[in-house]
Structure 1
Amino acid sequence: MLAGLRCCICSRVHSLTSSTFASFDETELALHRMGEGRPVILVHGLFSNAHTNWIKFGHAQKLAEAGFEAIMPDLRGHGQSAAPQDPAAYPPDVLVRDLEALVAHLEVEDYDLVGFSLGSRTSARAVVEGLAPRRLVLSGMGLEGLAGWDRRAAFFIDAIDRFEQVRHGDPAFYAVSFMKTMKVDRPAMRLLLQSVDDTTAEDLKAVTMPTLVLCGADDRDNGDPQALVDALPDATLAEIPGTHMSSVTEPALGEGLVNFLSA
């Protein structure tokens, strides 16, 4: 368990606590929190979890230092959350429905929302469906990554189906290596990948709050971040060092979040 972790910054102690909450269908999802102050919900990427995306490299700690409460779910099928293997547990936009259930569980109306990769896709889709954070951060994301999901999902489903046969040099090698590192529940993940819906450039007109597109300078895994900025009504682009995977390890990610959310 992550509960009980302590970090002492500037003589102030920030504790990390872990709990669970029941989503819309009673699936138990893990929830990790650090800091006190303005709530900011952080949604991690595919095959990852809250600890790897937000805690391990200090991003949640930076937010806590700056006076925020970092609220970090493990997505369905990821981390310490349940990974049901019943197809009925993965209706269309299930991750959006889980995010809506989290906001209802927290009983917050004034909050910020941050996503990385699949978390960005989920966050943008949730705003289109009606969530209304004060500020939004879409990290590790370009315009093309929000639509055409069937093609992207097919790549990962193929990696799952060929999991034991994939070797170095195969296009799926790094995806399989990451799944092995994260001990991903492959049957659950296969179902989850088929539940994600597209968000089009037309849909993005509903995303009217100030939005930061925060992307690694060498990250084009999910398309062109500038094209995403151009499609949003009120967005700016910030680049940090790194590729799609390595940008998560960069201190600049947490610094970029703090700078934008503190404005």
Structure 2
Amino acid sequence: MRRFRSWDDTELAYRTVGSGPPLVCVPGGPGQAVDYLGELGGLSNHRTLIMLDNRGTGSSQVPRDSATYRVDQLVRDLEALRRHLGSDRMDLLGHSASGGICLLYAAQHARRLNRLVLVAPSLRVVGIPSDLGVDEVLARRAHETWYADAVAALHAEAGSPQELERYRRLSAPLLYGRWSSAAQAQTAAEPAQFARTATEGFYADFEPDPGLPERLAACTMPVLLVAGEYDIWPTCASMRELTRLFADARLTVLPETGHFPWVDDPATFVATVQDFLARPPAPPTV
């Protein structure tokens, strides 16, 4: 792991893997170490992946001020990483909860981005519900042997951390296109990857900025939105709403995949992202 000091002197860690032009990758969770991204299904064969552990997660230091776990504060760490790397502009990929970090970063630092890739991003920062049409998505999985237990666990209220973990495991098949050995292995590894304080602090006292959609509309960088056909947060319907916020956005729905498309269909995921990253960047937003 490599390390740098962020804006408040918190030491953050990142690893690099692969070869080719750099792509900064930010993990979700929220509060999950970057390990779960792996090598993004082999995207590392085409890009040098710069994989950040957000503060208080993985190998990164716990901050002195817990308020800095909040999604809008993590934008400052991303900008500190860009400066540390010495990059005037960068390609950026965010998954799940970190999609919120990347959306806020794009609005604040648009001229620092060449291209933006959002994979199954959280939409809370822009005020778009993530579950539009979710009943229809769930209905398409009703033939699966695990379906009844998974849906019951999805809607159950846990009375203890142990019960919450049990429900998480039971509902996990809904997050994948196939409940494969790779999906099961990733699910089994997750508990050790989460930092509870970072998870709890991510949206603590956060209120969406009503002016954010207008600022995103002014961004000129190309944006790729990757959705899984079976994803329940965000659904494809919700992702279509996000597409409308950008001047130059492409929505790609990967068939028979869920919240982790590089696990379900690595070849299609890599081809989709690499094809997009090969596009010439737009002139920087002023």
| TM tier relative to shorter chain | 0.7 to 0.9
- 1:9 alignment partner in structure 2: none
Contact 1:29 1:81 in 2 (8 A): yes
Q: Quick check: 1:137 aligned with 2:84?
A: no
In structure 1, give the amino acid aligned to 2:12. L
- Residue 160 to residue 212, structure 1, CA distance change in 2 (3 Å): farther
Q: Quick check: 1:191 aligned with 2:191?
A: no
**Equivalent of 1:164, from 154, 162, 165?**
162
- 2:75 alignment partner in structure 1: 96
Which of the pair has the greater relative contact order for Cα pairs under 8 Å at 6+ separation? 2
Q: Quick check: 1:50 aligned with 2:34?
A: yes
Larger strand fraction of residues: 1
Rg: which structure is higher?
2
SS in 1 for 2:84: helix
Matches within 5 A, 1:223-234: 223=235, 224-234=238-248
Contact 1:92 1:197 in 2 (8 A): no
Q: Quick check: 1:125 aligned with 2:109?
A: no
Larger helix fraction of residues: 2
SS in 2 for 1:245: coil
SS in 1 for 2:81: helix
5+ residue gaps, structure 2, are: 132-156, 176-186, 280-286
Q: Quick check: 1:207 aligned with 2:219?
A: yes
- Residue 119 to residue 254, structure 1, CA distance change in 2 (3 Å): farther
Work out the number of aligned pairs and report it: 234
- Residue 197 to residue 63, structure 1, CA distance change in 2 (3 Å): farther
CA-CA distance at 1:30 after TM superposition: 1.0
In structure 2, give the amino acid aligned to 1:230. R
Contact 2:33 2:193 in 1 (8 A): no
Q: What is the aligned-residue RMSD (CA, Å)?
A: 3.4
**Equivalent of 1:71, from 50, 54, 76?**
50
SS in 2 for 1:138: strand
Distance 1:183 1:134 in 2: 30
In structure 2, give the amino acid aligned to 1:240. L
Q: Quick check: 1:29 aligned with 2:4?
A: no
TM-score between both structures, scaled by the size of structure 2: 0.69
**Equivalent of 1:240, from 224, 237, 254?**
254
- 2:269 alignment partner in structure 1: 253
- 1:115 alignment partner in structure 2: 94
SS in 1 for 2:213: coil
- Residue 32 to residue 180, structure 1, CA distance change in 2 (3 Å): closer
Distance 1:111 1:234 in 2: 17
CA-CA distance at 1:44 after TM superposition: 1.6
- Residue 197 to residue 100, structure 1, CA distance change in 2 (3 Å): farther
Distance 1:44 1:79 in 2: 11
CA-CA distance at 1:95 after TM superposition: 1.0
CA-CA distance at 1:63 after TM superposition: 2.6
